[in-house]
Amino acid sequence: MQGAAMTTTRKQYSPQFKARVVMEAIRGERTLNQLASQFHGHPVQIGQWRKTALEQLPELFVDGRKRRPRDGDVERERERRCTTRSAG
């Protein structure tokens, strides 16, 4: 196979799929290896998703008026304001 370049495509998982896997990981009824086998993923990736979810979970319950803006929030708010002004 000299000169033949192999290209690999990375798996892309939907947010819904990640949420389902993370919920199973948080429940703790199965090991990460068992979940990886069940969902055809890698245990390290599932562990990273679980860690991210647990770190961001408290932000879901913060009063929206005091919440820190996330990436894209500022831009969406700016677009909303421009649309509101032009419509009014």
40: which residues sit within 8 A by CB, 6+ positions away?
none
Question: Measured between alpha carbons, how far is 88 from 86 in angstroms, rounded to an integer?
Answer: 6
pLDDT of residue 52 exceeding 80: yes
- Indicate the residue type of 28: G
Phi then psi for residue 10, to 5 deg, are: -80, 145
Which one-letter DSSP state was computed for residue 61?
G
pLDDT (tens digit per residue) in 7-51? 888 889 999 999 999 999 999 999 999 999 999 999 999 999 999
What pLDDT does residue 65 have?
75
C-alpha separations of 59 from 19, 43, 68 in Å = 16, 25, 9
pTM listed for this prediction: 0.64
